[in-house]
Structures are given as C-alpha cells and as structure tokens.
Structure 1
Amino acid sequence: MKINKIELKNFKRFTDLTISDIPETAKLVLLIGSNGSGKSSLFDAFDWLTKGPYKGMPYSHDEASDYYKKKINEEPKVVVNFTSGDLIEKTGYSVIKGTELVKNFIGRSSVRIVPRISNDANPSAVSTDMDSPTTYIENDTRFINDVFLYIQKINQALREPVFSGKQADTLKIFRDFIEPLNSSLLKIFGGDATTTIQIAEFQDATPSTPAKLIFRKGESKINYDLLSHGEKQVIILLINFIVRKEYYRNSIIFIDEMDNHLNTVLQASLLEEIVTKWIPDDSQLWTASHALGFIDYARSSDTAAIIDFNLINFDTKQELIPLSKNKLEVYEIAIPKATIASILKGYKLVIVENKNDEHFNAALGQDGFLFLPANNNREVFLTVKSDKDKLGLRDRDYLKSEEIEKIKGQLPNLKILPLSTFENYIYHPDNIEVLNYAEFNKEEYIGEILRQKNEKLIDIVSEIGTSRTHYIEFKDCIKDDGNIKPITEALKSNIFNDFYPFFNMKKHFNKKYLTKFNYTISDLAKTQWFRGEILKVINS
C-alpha cells in the first residue's frame, strides 16, 4: 500500500493542497519545512480518514469543525490515490470511496515520550488502534500497552508449552523478542554491548507496582524510567514495531518527528534502521523532520522521496512534488545557507562516489578540499553538471583515454581517475610499499595481481560492454562508439601498467593475499603517495 497522490481541501491550514508524483519505489516519504508549515496537518488528515467508519468519532460535530475545517461553512475533503489504482475519498463525516482501506493508516504523534511505565494498560484497544491519541496534538501513550503486550507475549511463549508437557523454545523467544530490539539498539546507537543499552530483563506488574523493563549498559542495570529522553524515544518506537508488527503490513505508517532528542548521527541511524528493518516492503512510512540526519538519509536513499512544505501559502491552491536530490539546497531547512557558507568557506567541494569521502577527506582535508558522498557515478555527473562551482571525482571504470579527454572538454569540473577505481590507488603496489610492511615483496604482489587478473579475464572482458551501457556520460555528454578493443587488449596484456588501469581491484581482486600485513584502509589512504596521486587528478 503506497500513496502516489494526496489532495486536501479546506482541511486545517490548507485551502487546496495537492502532493503528487510520489514514485512507486518510495518506501519513505520525508516531509521537511519550517515550524508551522503544515506538515503535522497532513498527518491529521491521515488520521482523520480513520475517524468514524473505523475508530469512531470521539468528539462532537462542533469540536470536529473547529479542529479540522479551515472555513466553517465548507466540509473538509481528503482524497488519497495509491499506486495500485485504489483510492480513498472522504468529505465531512462520509467516506465516499475506500472504506476498507482507511483502517490501514497507523500513526504516532510527535508527543509520545512516556517518562515512566504506569499500571493503566488497556491491551484490548491495540488490535483496532483505539489507543491512538484523539488528535495529533495530544500525547501518545500507547507505549504503556506496548510494554504490557511485550511482557505478556514473552510470558505466554515461556509458559504455554508447560501445559502440553513440552519445553519452551527459548531460542525462538530470544529471536522473536530480545534479539530484534538489542540488534536495532546497537545499530542505532553504535558501540557494543558494553557501551550501548541492551534489554536485559523485565518484571511483571503487581496490583501495587507497575511493570519494569531493565536495560544493561556494561555492568550497570538501568530501569526504563531512568533512561535519557533520547534512549526512551528509540525504545518507544522499537517496542511499538516489535509488538504491533502484524498490523504494519500493507499499511501507511506515519510518525511525526521521530528525531526528537537525538543527535545528528543517531537521526540517520534511527531512520535507516526503521525503514530497512521495520517497515514492510508493501508499506510506506511518512515522517516529518527538520533534522539534518533524516534529510541526509532520505537524500541518499533510492527508496525515499522528500516533500518540502516551506513557505506554503495556505490561502491559495498549492501543488507539491518530490524535491530533486541532486542539489544540496535540500539541506537548507536543517542548516541555513548562511551557516553552510560559513562552514564551507575556504573549501573546494568535491563530490565522490559511494562512501569514499571519508578517506579522501582524511588524505586531502588539509589541502582545502571537502569531499561529499554521492550514491554512484551518475549522481556525481548530475551534481557537477548542474553546479559548475563543485568538482566531481569519479572512477574510470571502463572509459577509454580518448573518451576521458572528450568528457573533460565538455565538463572540466568532472575529474576522472586514470585507474579503474578508488581501490586501485589504495591497493596499488607503490602505495603499499611506502608503508614498509615487513615481508612485503612488491614484485611478488604484482605477480599475484597478474595471476588473479588472468584467472578471471574471460569474466572481466564479458562485463565491459554491459557496464559501459550504464555510463550517463554517453547519454548526456559524448557518444559511445562501441569500440572496446583497446580495453580488452590492455586487459590481455601481462604488462602491469597496461592492464592495471582497467582491472577493477574492488570487484576482482581477492584481498586475502594482503591480510598478513594487517593493513587498514585508513592507513593506506593517508600515505603521501595516495595524496599526491589524487591531487594530480583534481588539479589537472
């Protein structure tokens, strides 16, 4: 269940708002914009669809009018179109189309921190989502029910087999309830079991005392009540997904401001973990944020769309479509232009493939360059094509020398490595030699590269044509003449300087030979040889 278009008319702040062209691949839709731009109003629209036919109306007609209507004399209207071709249409109290679909909207308010676990659980409300807040400006206390069910399910799994004369499958219980929570905590907070909270035990509620969730951090044990707000925020979200996962299939899940109380690094980690692990592939997550970490994750994800609500005129018809991710302006809601300019003053920005920016920055940061990551060579090309003030640095892959020169002639700010990949520099015999590893024999190493190249030569040659069809430079810059003979002839050569520029060390070289030297990529990226070679390319 995924939305590709939504229309709001006379709903809360909006006179007439349309959001369209959301791609079918969007598992995440991130709403960005200044405070008061209407992001939470959209979540109220999602929740409003479920009022009446599904969850009932917990307030009078006049109260509903005051909260949902922009103009009192007109009924609010929401229309949602799905990629499947289905739609929901609701006007006033009536769901005109898609009555059965409205129950597939499940949301969480931004106000959801539960400071301590209490004894007032109502687990019977969970299956119908009746424990959701009345509106999305109210406190979401569903965590109390989630804790009750979390403990109840573990207890049931432990005790039920006893009455059949069987042993409880403790490994399955661990995998179903304990491991998912602990592994997500490690991925979100980083570190290991000695530095990151891990669920350790629980205590059942009694008539006079509430249930307890006990976490371990190193040798210490910490009751949930004593965790920081940031830790509680993550625990509340994760246990909600663990307990209610059966209700999240084929759904629109909307969670307002998940980044509350989290630093930038944790923001990206939290969003990535939830999208990749806890959101089913047939569902879609909508969330709103001003957070740099969320924006950064959504910009780099192939399954995310970003909608900018900033500076919307609520009194006129507004149409929004997903932002282009090629421009760094997408970050402006989190970091103002003036701040970005101040931070980047004196730096030359260089867009590089994959996550190699970390190593390039370590090697050349002192030279006045700031390397920024792109998903692939296509994104590098599009970024520097649209912004001539930035440099791009991409792998050579299977580009011929004359093609490189033609591309540089049309796009001088796109720099292309003379060797196949970044790894060809990292693992170059000359680079490893300068670290003076004991027992390193340069000629023997070159011989090992040659041996592996010849062993895989047929497979390597067979992939050249297919690889070249994906180069955006051949579509937007120069034409592919289809002649790959110079590349295949070079690869067939046993002369190192002939074949090495086209031999992909990242993909085709087995690094097992090098493990005896106990190297790290960071060490290899900090050599003067590596720095010098990359500077030659950038300054060319």
Structure 2
Amino acid sequence: MRITKLELRNFKRFSDLTIDKIPETSKLVLLVGANGSGKSSIFDGFDFMSRQVTRLANKAHYTSSLKPYYFKDGDNLKIVVTFSNGEQNGIEWDQFIGESNVLKRKFVGRSSIRIVPRITNRGSAEEVSNNKDAPASFIDVDERFYNDVALYIQQIDNALREPVFSGRSADTLQIFQDFIYPLNSSLLNIFGGDEATTIQIAEFQNATPQESAKLIFKKGTSKINYDLLSHGEKQVVILLLNFIVRKEQYKDAIIYIDEMDCHLNTSLQSKLLSEVVNVWIPDDAQLWTASHALGFIDFARHADNASIIDLDSLNFDVSQLLIPEPKENLEVYTIALPKETLENILRDYKLVVVENQNAAHYNLALSGKNYLFLPEKDSRDVFLNIKGDTTKLGIRDRDYIMDDEITRLQKKYPNLRILRYYAFENYIYHPDNIAELDCEGFDKAAYINEITTQKNDKLLTIAAGIEVARQSYSEFKDGVQKNKDIEPILQALKSDDFEVFYPFFSMKTYYSRVYLQLILNKYTVSDLVKTNWFKTKIEQLLKADS
C-alpha cells in the first residue's frame, strides 16, 4: 500500500493542505520543515482516521473531547488519502470515505515520545495483537516497547520449548536467524564497527514476581543491561525490536514514525534510515517520517525510492499544494543546516572535487589539512564542476593522458589536478606505499616483478582500448590540443621500467591482487591512505606549482 495523494482540510494547523504527485515507487516519504511547520499534524491526521472507526458511534464524546484538539474551525473537517491503485479512503466530519476497515488495519504509527528508560514488568505479549496497545492519541507517551520486549522473549521461549513436548529438538539455528541475527546485523550496520565496539544482543532474562525482564547486550567483553544503554542506543533498539515482533502488522501498511533521529548524531542518521527503509519496511508498505536532521535529508535526497515534502514557512490559513522536491534541489539541506552556518564551517577549507567514492579516502588521508574533498560521478563531472568555479580544485585520474597534454590542460585550467599515476588504486597499491606498512613477508622486488609480468601478459588487451578511452575525455573538447599519436603511451607500456609503464597501467582493471591478498586481508583502504607516502603524494599534487 502506497499513498500518492493526501488532503487535509480544517485539521489541526491546516485550513486546506494537499500533498500530491507522490510517486508510487516512494517507499519513504520524508516530511521536512522547521519546528512548528506542521509535520506532526500530518501524522495526527493518519492517527485520527484510523481511530475514528471505533469512536464515531459515540458522537457526544467525539465532539466534546476531540473537536477542540483536531478541528481548526467549524465542522467541515476532511482527511482523504489516495492510494497508488486509485482507491480513496478517509473521513469527512462524521462519515467515512471508502472502507473504514482499511483505515483501522493499515495505518500503524509511532509517536516521538517513545524512549523507555528502563524495562519494567508492565509488558504483555497478548496486547500486541492488531496494535491494541497503541497510546490513546498521537501526543501521548508510546510505551509499546514494554510489550515488544515481552513478545520477543515469549517468541524465543516458545520456539525453544514447544518442540520438547513433541519429542523434537529445537531448531536453534532457525531461532538465531529469526530473532538474534536480524537485530545484531542491523545494529552493526547502523552503529558501524564490529562486535568488539558495537552493542549486540547477547541474552535475555524472563520477568519474575521480584524482577523485571531484561535484555542484555554485549560490547566486546562487557555485558550491558538495556537500562544502561545510551539514549541513542535505546532509540535504535526500540525501533528495531518493534519491527521484529510486529512485522505482520507492517505488511501492506502505511507506517508513520515521528522523529526517528532523536539522540542520534549526524553520521548515524542516514545509516538508521537506510536500514529501516531497505531492510525493515516491507516492499508493499510505505514509511512516512518527519525530521529536520541532515542525515535523513541526505539519504532521502539520494534514494530512488524516497520523496521529500518541504513544509517549511507555510501559511496555514490559505490553501497549499505541495509536491515532492526535485532531487537536484539543494535548498532542502538548509532545513538542517542554514547557509550562514555552512559558510562559516567551510570558510577555512579548500574544496576539492574528486571522482567516485574516493572523497572519503582523501578526507581521511588529509584530515587536519584544511582540505574538504567532495565526490563527483566521474572525471567529466569533476571537470565541469571546476571549469566555471575557480575557487575549487579538482582531481581526476590520469587514465591515458600524456605528460605534455597534462601541461597544456593545467595551463588552461590551473585549478585542475591530474594524478601522475593512472588512478587512485595505483597510489594505494604502489610498491612504496605497501612497503611503508612494514608487513611481514612483503618482498618489494617480487611484487614489482609480478605487476610487470601481469602487464606484459595483458599488453595487447590494454593497447586495444587506449584509443576508445581517450575519445571520452571532456577536457579536450574545449580547445585544448590532444595528441593524435598514442605511440608514446604504447612505448611506455612496452617498457619493463616500473616508473615508465606504471603511470599508464590500470591497477584497478588489469592487476590481479593474488600476491597482495594476505596483506589486503589484514589492511583496509583506510590503512593504505594513512601512510606518509600517500599523504605526501596527494599534498604535492594539490600544491599550485605541482
């Protein structure tokens, strides 16, 4: 079930709000806006629709208790959703539009007030059915986590004990895959690190008349009761456990969760939303969430299955029509990070655009050097970015560009930097860079010999692709002369002098890393860019006189 259109009339803050043209591919709808912009009012609308199924029978109670809170002016309240199949459902004052049962069963929400500080014995697994344990209204404290814990423990207990009475052994591997692995895997994906540095569910204890149930986590060799986790860790555990034990409720549903990013730093926000959308939300469901967090906005802007609705600075008293923000619109970031703040942050940085995902590696290598590396799709986009903006530098791979061509290019574009070796991988896998790791068993001479042998074995294949590759270089389509003869590249590749052929030999494409495998099993790319050799080479490249 996916919503493509939402209409709110005379509800909460809004006189007349329409959100339209939400693609049916949108598994995520992110509402952004400053505090008080009406994000939570939309969730109140979903909540109101689903609850009135049981309340319309008592008109007197309905009018006296709900009208002052939900109705803006008069009696003409209307909330209607249009689904991707064209069906409409909703409520108009005291009657339903479409099937009321859809509203009751298919809208499942969580308010922002849901952090449970400690587990108590208030939980009941039986109350989970059909979301009966939801709070009275969307602004009340959401304590369903107590019941989630009770059901989680009960489900594992049942899976362990039920086979005993049938003379069978419990399938512990299946129990692990159903209840333990999904939780621990998502914790690792969200918090990063490994089992030594990230919380992992380790055990539970059933409730007794004297003590509450317990969820015990481990981090390295330490055991940590849920009660002692940080607020950010609790936030994530509460969300994930809810998805595990109530997964049947979320099928073919509209799920709305307010402020999922509470207590999470920016680096974790995007990871959390990615994990929830891509792992925990069923493919036939849709998640609506509200945030002004930078990580959430960044994820939604780049995700193909997400739409952003900007509610900032709306006049609630006039009709408003909103549609999803274009993916190329960078203004959505200003909800989380005002331009003035961004300018202050970047004032002392030199911006450098680089190819692909190498920005993270360059930022790691030159941390503290007042450079900020930004990613672009490829060398063409790097060139187009810096061509009209001389305040930035750009680094592109050398590929098959000759020395005199590099000189001409950098004369016309002084802010363009071209790697002296074929590509980024040529730097991190350079013999001098590997040698600095001082790895036991590494033989530099043998390594160079192996690269040379592989180059010679693939020489004809390499040579056949040079002309085609050089036709795609955008820099030579703007008046810079390109050499017609590729013989100097061919002669360099035929040479067995390492520093002669290596600038034109793609370590990413043509080098089989069998010789390095034992070393690469121990060291990551992060290790390879932290060497003094790598840092020095890149700093030299960035200098104006390089």
- TM interval, short-chain normalised: 0.7 to 0.9
Within 2, Cα distance between the matches of 1:69 and 1:26? 29
Q: CA deviation at 1:427?
A: 2.3
- Asked if 1:96 is matched to 2:97, the reply is yes
- Asked if 1:536 is matched to 2:536, the reply is no
Q: Structure 1 pair 53/405, CA: closer, same or farther in 2 (3 Å)?
A: farther
Within 2, Cα distance between the matches of 1:224 and 1:41? 32
User: Which residue is 1:11 aligned to?
Assistant: 11
Q: Structure 1 pair 227/56, CA: closer, same or farther in 2 (3 Å)?
A: farther
Q: CA deviation at 1:150?
A: 0.6
Q: CA deviation at 1:154?
A: 0.7
Q: CA deviation at 1:149?
A: 0.9
Within 2, Cα distance between the matches of 1:256 and 1:72? 28
User: Which residue is 1:38 aligned to?
Assistant: 38
Confirm or deny: 8 A CA contact 2:3 2:22 kept in the other structure.
yes
Deviations 1:125-153 (A, max 9, x none): 43322222233211111112111111111
Confirm or deny: 8 A CA contact 1:491 1:502 kept in the other structure.
no
SS at match of 2:514: helix
SS at match of 2:82: strand
TM-score by length of 2: 0.80
Confirm or deny: 8 A CA contact 1:65 1:72 kept in the other structure.
no
Aligned residue identity for 1:76 = K
Aligned residue identity for 2:494 = N
Q: CA deviation at 1:288?
A: 1.6
Confirm or deny: 8 A CA contact 1:214 1:221 kept in the other structure.
yes
User: Which residue is 2:187 aligned to?
Assistant: 185
SS at match of 2:17: strand
Q: CA deviation at 1:156?
A: 0.8
Q: CA deviation at 1:6?
A: 2.9
Confirm or deny: 8 A CA contact 2:16 2:318 kept in the other structure.
yes
Within 1, Cα distance between the matches of 2:356 and 2:141? 41
Within 2, Cα distance between the matches of 1:529 and 1:337? 34
Q: CA deviation at 1:398?
A: 7.8
Within 2, Cα distance between the matches of 1:318 and 1:385? 40
SS at match of 1:246: coil
User: Which residue is 1:246 aligned to?
Assistant: 248
More deviation, 94-103/235-244: 94-103
Confirm or deny: 8 A CA contact 1:253 1:285 kept in the other structure.
yes
Within 1, Cα distance between the matches of 2:126 and 2:256? 22
Q: CA deviation at 1:222?
A: 3.5
Within 1, Cα distance between the matches of 2:195 and 2:440? 35
Q: Structure 1 pair 154/467, CA: closer, same or farther in 2 (3 Å)?
A: farther
Aligned residue identity for 2:49 = L
- Asked if 1:65 is matched to 2:93, the reply is no
Q: Structure 1 pair 435/209, CA: closer, same or farther in 2 (3 Å)?
A: closer
Confirm or deny: 8 A CA contact 1:364 1:531 kept in the other structure.
no
Equivalent residues in 2 for 1:39-54, closer than 5 Å:
39-53=39-53
SS at match of 1:281: coil
Within 1, Cα distance between the matches of 2:54 and 2:81? 17
User: Which residue is 1:111 aligned to?
Assistant: 113
Within 2, Cα distance between the matches of 1:114 and 1:101? 30
Q: CA deviation at 1:173?
A: 1.0
Deviations 1:3-30 (A, max 9, x none): 3443333332122333344445543333
Within 1, Cα distance between the matches of 2:182 and 2:376? 30
Q: CA deviation at 1:462?
A: 9.4
Confirm or deny: 8 A CA contact 2:89 2:99 kept in the other structure.
yes
Q: CA deviation at 1:169?
A: 1.0
User: In structure 1, which of residues 209, 215, 229 is the aligned counterpart of residue 231 of structure 2?
Assistant: 229
Within 1, Cα distance between the matches of 2:306 and 2:412? 32
Pairwise CA RMSD: 4.4
Confirm or deny: 8 A CA contact 2:56 2:94 kept in the other structure.
no
Confirm or deny: 8 A CA contact 1:133 1:140 kept in the other structure.
yes
User: Which residue is 1:316 aligned to?
Assistant: 318
Within 2, Cα distance between the matches of 1:3 and 1:377? 39
User: In structure 2, which of residues 347, 350, 353 is the aligned counterpart of residue 348 of structure 1?
Assistant: 350
Within 2, Cα distance between the matches of 1:67 and 1:168? 52
Q: CA deviation at 1:431?
A: 4.9
User: In structure 2, which of residues 504, 507, 512 is the aligned counterpart of residue 505 of structure 1?
Assistant: 507
Within 2, Cα distance between the matches of 1:316 and 1:203? 55
Aligned residue identity for 1:264 = T
TM-score by length of 1: 0.81
* Runs of 5+ unmatched residues, structure 1: none
Deviations 1:44-65 (A, max 9, x none): 2232332334898896134333
Q: CA deviation at 1:70?
A: 2.4
Deviations 1:425-446 (A, max 9, x none): 3224565567787886666545
Within 2, Cα distance between the matches of 1:196 and 1:68? 43
Confirm or deny: 8 A CA contact 2:419 2:541 kept in the other structure.
no
User: Which residue is 1:260 aligned to?
Assistant: 262
Confirm or deny: 8 A CA contact 2:353 2:373 kept in the other structure.
yes
Percent sequence identity is: 54
Equivalent residues in 2 for 1:359-398, closer than 5 Å:
359-365=361-367, 368-374=370-376, 389-395=391-397
Deviations 1:437-496 (A, max 9, x none): 788666654553354456567887999999999x8969xx889xxxx9969x85995347
User: Which residue is 1:304 aligned to?
Assistant: 306
User: In structure 1, which of residues 521, 524, 535 is the aligned counterpart of residue 525 of structure 2?
Assistant: 521
Confirm or deny: 8 A CA contact 1:491 1:503 kept in the other structure.
no
Q: CA deviation at 1:172?
A: 1.3
Within 2, Cα distance between the matches of 1:190 and 1:458? 43
User: Which residue is 1:163 aligned to?
Assistant: 165
Count of residue pairs the alignment pairs up:
533
Confirm or deny: 8 A CA contact 2:353 2:382 kept in the other structure.
yes
Within 2, Cα distance between the matches of 1:407 and 1:127? 68
Q: Structure 1 pair 462/74, CA: closer, same or farther in 2 (3 Å)?
A: farther
* Runs of 5+ unmatched residues, structure 2: none
SS at match of 1:287: strand
Confirm or deny: 8 A CA contact 1:352 1:394 kept in the other structure.
yes
Within 2, Cα distance between the matches of 1:491 and 1:8? 71
Aligned residue identity for 1:37 = S
More deviation, 184-193/258-267: 184-193
Q: Structure 1 pair 166/364, CA: closer, same or farther in 2 (3 Å)?
A: closer
User: In structure 1, which of residues 286, 289, 307 is the aligned counterpart of residue 288 of structure 2?
Assistant: 286
The higher radius of gyration belongs to 2
Confirm or deny: 8 A CA contact 1:360 1:371 kept in the other structure.
yes
Within 1, Cα distance between the matches of 2:485 and 2:383? 25
Within 2, Cα distance between the matches of 1:5 and 1:379? 36
SS at match of 1:52: helix
SS at match of 2:341: helix
Within 2, Cα distance between the matches of 1:144 and 1:441? 59
Confirm or deny: 8 A CA contact 2:80 2:97 kept in the other structure.
no
SS at match of 1:111: coil
SS at match of 2:244: helix
More deviation, 401-410/354-363: 401-410
Q: Structure 1 pair 14/377, CA: closer, same or farther in 2 (3 Å)?
A: farther
SS at match of 2:130: coil
Confirm or deny: 8 A CA contact 1:356 1:373 kept in the other structure.
yes
- Asked if 1:273 is matched to 2:275, the reply is yes
